[in-house]
């Protein structure tokens, strides 16, 4: 099956803990993204990454960092979670170049207590 | 700065009705526009896109959208909705800068009644 896979589906943690979310795509794409979707369904780009360039949304706090081992994987690490980090984190991928649609994973819902 | 606005937060229609979801954007430069659908508890799925050429584009499941440069709009339409079309619909703009990340509107929730 070719798709974008995310683990875990849900994660509950306490303030100050470190968390890491995994994303893998089997579509052969060369660009991957992380988006944050808040409780009002608002979607905001956090990172986009291909093997040449990482682009970080300037509004993303420094406790967030993407981690990539190859072009099929882009994980998201949060060093010390805060209550406002509670959200759904969506991973996506696409080909680079032209008007390319993005393919999304099912999301990881993070709850920070 | 790119912005996308979706003026309707919630639309309720009956099965078999037509529906139009409005999207207006503001951006100066080379962009492309797209629509995505998100069913409850799921990720987003691509519906259709416009970059150039015929301003009316066809997408999956009977959806189409019309681009208007003069109105800065990219409205989504479907002639006859099905209950499975109940979802949140997002309009998005992307440029060749910024890693081609999508800038999303606030979404329109469509509820289809039997």
- pLDDT, mean of residues B49-74: 94
What b/e sequence results for A72-100 when a residue is b if at least 16 CB atoms lie within 10 Å of its CB, and e otherwise?
Answer: bebbbebeebeeebbbbbbbbbbbeeebb
Answer whether A21's CB lies under 8 Å from A89's CB. yes
- What's the rounded Cα separation, in Å, for the pair A107 and A10? 9
Model confidence over B85-101: pLDDT tens digits?
A: 999 999 999 876 545 78
- At residue B34, the pLDDT reads 95
Mean pLDDT estimate for chain A: 93
Nearest CB among B44, B51, B101 relative to A104 is that of B44
Count Cβ atoms below 10 Å from residue A7 Cβ, excluding itself: 13
- What's the rounded Cα separation, in Å, for the pair B14 and A31? 39
* Cβ within 8 Å, pair A96-B34: no
- At residue B97, the pLDDT reads 57
The whole-angstrom distance between B80's CA and the closest CA on chain A is: 25
- At residue B100, the pLDDT reads 75
* Cβ within 8 Å, pair A33-B34: no
Tell whether A107 lies on the interface with B, counting CB pairs under 8 A.
yes
User: Tokens in use for B45?
Assistant: 């799925």
* Cβ within 8 Å, pair A94-B100: yes
- pLDDT, mean of residues B45-53: 93
pLDDT over 90, % of chain B:
81
pLDDT over 90, % of chain A:
76
Helix locations, B1-114, DSSP H? none
Nearest CB among B42, B100, B104 relative to A48 is that of B100
- At residue A23, the pLDDT reads 97
* Cβ within 8 Å, pair B44-A53: no
Inter-chain contacts counted by CB atoms under 8 A, chains A and B:
66
User: Tokens in use for A113?
Assistant: 């207590």
- pLDDT, mean of residues A92-109: 90
């Amino acid at each position: 099956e070719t798709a974008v896979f995310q683990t875990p589906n849900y994660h509950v943690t306490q303030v100050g803990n470190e968390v890491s979310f995994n994303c893998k795509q089997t579509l052969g794409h060369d660009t991957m993204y992380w988006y944050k979707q808040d409780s009002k369904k608002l979607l905001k780009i956090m990172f986009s990454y291909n093997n040449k360039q990482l682009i970080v949304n300037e509004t993303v706090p420094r406790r967030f960092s993407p981690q990539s081992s190859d072009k099929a994987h882009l994980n998201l690490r949060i060093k010390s979670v805060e209550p406002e980090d509670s959200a759904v984190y969506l991973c996506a991928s696409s080909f680079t170049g032209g008007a390319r649609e993005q393919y999304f994973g099912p999301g990881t819902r993070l709850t920070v207590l | 700065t790119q912005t996308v606005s979706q003026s309707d937060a919630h639309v309720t229609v009956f099965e078999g009705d037509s529906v139009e979801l409005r999207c207006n954007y503001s951006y100066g430069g080379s962009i492309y526009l797209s629509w995505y659908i998100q069913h409850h508890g799921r990720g987003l799925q691509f519906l259709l896109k416009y970059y150039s050429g015929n301003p009316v584009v066809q997408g999956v499941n009977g959806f189409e959208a019309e681009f208007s440069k003069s109105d800065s709009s990219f409205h989504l339409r479907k002639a006859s909705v099905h209950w499975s079309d109940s979802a949140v619909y997002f309009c998005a703009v992307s440029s060749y800068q910024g890693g081609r990340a999508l800038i999303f509107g606030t979404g329109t929730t469509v509820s289809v009644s039997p």
